[in-house]
Amino acid sequence: MNISILTLARQRDKIIDDLLAEELSKHGHTVTVRNFINAGRETITYEKPDVVVVPMPGGQYKLDFIKKCKSWGIQIIVRRGEAGMGIDQFDKLDGERQTMILGNWNYQPYVDLELTWGQEFTTILADRGWNPVKRRVCGAFALDPYFKHESRIAPDRRKTILFATGFPTADCKAEYCECGLPETSSYHEEIYDLHRSARDKWIDAINRLVKWFGHDWAFELKVRPGELTKEYLETLSSAVKVHPVQAPSSEVLRDVDILIHSGSTLAVEAHLLDIPSFNFCNVNPDPLLSKVSPVIESYEELEFNVSRATPGRSNINEDVFHELKTHLYGVIDGKACERAAKHIHEQINGKLVRTKIPNVWPKEVLYHEDKENIFIEETEGCMRWDCPCCRESYYVKPEIDETKCPYCSMVIKKAKNKKESVLK
Ligand SMILES: [Zn+2]
């Protein structure tokens, strides 16, 4: 069958979706991997797939997308990009945060199969998520690339420290505004303050380490999906190599000796490569995940630990790692994509539904609510905005800097000194 995999962050999801595509083609399917946001609609109307694989649908754009695909007869498979949470940690969250993890948007009517990581979170989804959805447990997707035996770099270079940041809310760009929190929620503000102060501490600590150890050690920095490199490039010493936003962690990690993170799955990825790691200024709300590496709060402590770490030897907390496998990730054996492909194949095999896909994505105004500032027809005194997501045009009063696209609901920001608009 003809399968389209639609992927989100290049640095996190694309590498996994490519592995999944490889496994699906072993079952005899024709598979393409495209960007969900920028190429999703064209992929459907040009390639006319029988099946699409998408990340967890959140936000109006993605919901509308799968709803239309379903109505044209396309089978919809969801592959969860994140592991979710163990039951003990999940129960400690308030209702709003629980819903955010389960999915704020009801995708149940459109999804044929959902692929998850571990059993425990799958049970939580079955008990409290959108139901009935057929689900299959596959294992730790994000860790599959670490089982591809690619050689690591020459050992005779300077000790290299990777700073993997984790503060996207400090850029105030909740990615594609899909969390769907109520406007009165204090959650965003809380997270913003946490990320802002952690980023300030990191910038200060990195510059101090470069000052004192720059002659002996090399420094690299990689941002988290959804985070920008701008502030780091402006404030950090030029001795720090800042990786481009899209750099996949499984590639960046292979060339470093020590990892500093702020409470991230990267600690487990580093462990699989025998790299010691430290959690500096933790921002991860999951109490289990935050304890995988030694937790460090001050610059002095960081300097002490980093200068005494042994490259080539993991320092993971084995008990926590075991707990993580049992309660969160599921199996870590490099075969999550292989299992996922098998489940997809079983789901779609022999179920060829004749699809009826139009040649052009229907042009319709879906979510137009801002009647004072946005106009669908050309209006005098207004500027034309072209949505970089769905490529439709609309007209906006000149003093407005930010709008929701009335066609696809993406939040679009006016680009400075340019006519075109950009995705926020
Ligand atoms: Zn749009």
Read off φ and ψ for residue 80, nearest 5 degrees. -65, 125
Could you report the per-residue pLDDT of 381-390, keeping only the tens digit for each?
999 998 877 7
pLDDT at 141: 96
Under the banding of pLDDT at 50, 70 and 90, the label for residue 241 is very high
Give the Å distance between the CA of 404 and the centre of ligand 1: 8
Tens digits of residue pLDDT in 307-350: 999 989 999 999 999 999 999 999 999 999 999 999 999 999 87
Is 208 within 8 Å of 235 (Cβ atoms)?
A: no
* pLDDT higher than 70, residue 205: yes
Backbone angles phi, psi at 222, to 5 degrees: -135, 130
Q: Which domains does the chain have, with CATH numbers?
A: 2-145+334-348 (3.40.50.2300), 151-316 (3.40.50.2000), 374-423 (no CATH)
In this predicted structure, what is the pLDDT of residue 175?
A: 40
Q: What is the pLDDT of residue 112?
A: 96
Q: 114 - beta bridge partners?
A: 78, 135
Average pLDDT, the chain: 88
Alpha-helical segments (H) within 75-229: 87-91, 95-102, 119-128, 187-213
Using the structure block, give the residue that is written with the tokens 């007869």.
73
pLDDT reading at 271 higher than 50: yes
Ligand 1 centre to CA of 163 (Å) is 35
Q: Which residue has the higher pLDDT, 239 or 423?
A: 239
* Ligand 1 centroid to residue 152 C-alpha, Å: 43
Q: Is the pLDDT of residue 282 over 50?
A: yes
What's the 372 CA to ligand 1 centre distance in angstroms? 18
pTM for the complete prediction?
0.82
Distance 400 CA to ligand 1 centre (A): 17
pLDDT band at 180 (very low <50, low <70, confident <90, very high): low
SS3 call for 364: coil
Residue type present at position 282: N
Distance CA 66, CA 235 (A): 42
Rounded distance from Cα 412 to ligand 1 centre (Å): 8
From the CA of 391, how far away is ligand 1's center (Å)? 6
Residue type (1 letter), 39: A
% residues pLDDT > 70 (the chain):
92
C-alpha span between 117 and 101 (Å, rounded): 14
